[in-house]
Amino acid sequence: MTNSVLGNNSVDNPYQMALKQLEETAKLINLDPGIHKILSKPKRILTVSLPVKMDDGSIEVFTGYRSQHNDARGPFKGGIRYHPQVTLEEVMALSMWMTWKCAIVDIPLGGGKGGIICNPKELSKMERERLTRRYAYSIADIIGPHTDIPAPDVYTGGEEMSWIMDTYSMLKGNYAQPEVITGKPISIGGSLGRTEATGRGVSITVREAAKKLNIPMNDATVVVQGFGNAGQFAAKLVEEQGAKIIAVSDTKGAIINKNGFKTNELIKYKNENKSVKGFKGSTDITNEDLLTTECTVLIPAALENQITKDNASKINTKIIAEAANGPTTPEADDILYQNKVLVIPDVLANSGGVTVSYFEWLQNLRREYWTENYVNERLDGILTKAFVDVYNAHLQYNTNMRTASIASAVQRVAEAIKLRGIWP
């Protein structure tokens, strides 16, 4: 099956890629042709023109999108990205993939995605705020706490989410409505545990995969490609489970120490030196050497298309947990499956983020806030069940985990559509 890539630009038209995935899944699970047609198209797509007054007094007009794929299981959910290469087809594909992602972890949300064609690095803070508020104003009629709850994505964060929340709140009643969006700072309704959620989710799925393969975590060695937020927390948490981190990389290079690193020391060193290179006791290696290092668990947490048909046969690990979006190509997937490498796909492995976003929304709706321990306990329960569901589907269909995860998701969404029916 085609790779379940969230944000993979390896093809010219990601929407066609998403449609091909759906078509292949439909054949596998014998999906009702009518349901297939419904799922092939977003329920709603909004394109907006965004005039913004720039700091020098000139006016620029940006284009923004919001794609709402399917809400049979609950409100649309998905991020907003700011990037020069945002396209309508990309946003449509991402909204479909978000539908599957929410269904895989079995939370009552559907898939949405938004984007603005811009280069945020070339905008001042005031220009970004004016652009963000204009976009929030323009999509305000189709988002809301019970209809569509956006979130951060590429080149957006808590600052943009705060501006969107404030704009929406002023438009819809002039009182704070934090439940309209997630990924907010803690002081205005964000959730504890959100920063670590993606890495924590990776560590949970790794733990469950090790159980299925009868691998004691105390005997596990781990390689992490990409030592950013997700990679750091994943490394730290699998280390707490007993595993040994033997190699890591960042944009500046890769290092190895077969005796293992202390993750907290490595994080401290990276924060001080902006790279892991030069860490005491380490040896420099290439990125290719890192990926093919013998280990128990490989965690790609960097860029897409890192494991390809050219290096997949050299991968020497038992488990791959995709913290990054789309690190494995479809051709590589087939090779890894034949070589009995268990790949935990991105839509499952890195779904801790959307799960804790769901928790943030629940807390906002109830105007109550949970302890970090409670957030982590609930996240553990949801992702443990999700892993088991996907693993069982992979056995049932005799296929890889990626294909099984999408099949499981499509079945859940299809069942919701059938039960609700078509009205009027």
Closest CA to 300 of 202, 174, 408, 410: 202
| CA pair distance 422, 36, nearest whole angstrom | 14
Catalytic residue from among 77, 113, 184, 270: 113
Count of C-beta atoms within a 10 Å radius of residue 36 = 16
Which residue reads 């991402």 in tokens? 94
Question: At how many degrees (to 10) do helices 14-29 and 401-420 cross?
Answer: 80
Q: What is the helix (H) or strand (E) element at residue 165, kind and residue range?
A: helix 158-171
| Positive or negative torsion for Cα 174, 113, 152, 379 | positive
Is 113 known to be catalytic? Answer: yes
CA angle 149/376/351 to nearest 5° reads 50
| Cα(36)–Cα(351) distance, integer angstroms | 24
Residue 223 near residue 299 (C-beta atoms within 8 A):
yes
* Residue 90 CA: distances (Å) to CA of 30, 96, 125, 145, 167: 27, 10, 26, 25, 26
List active site positions: 113
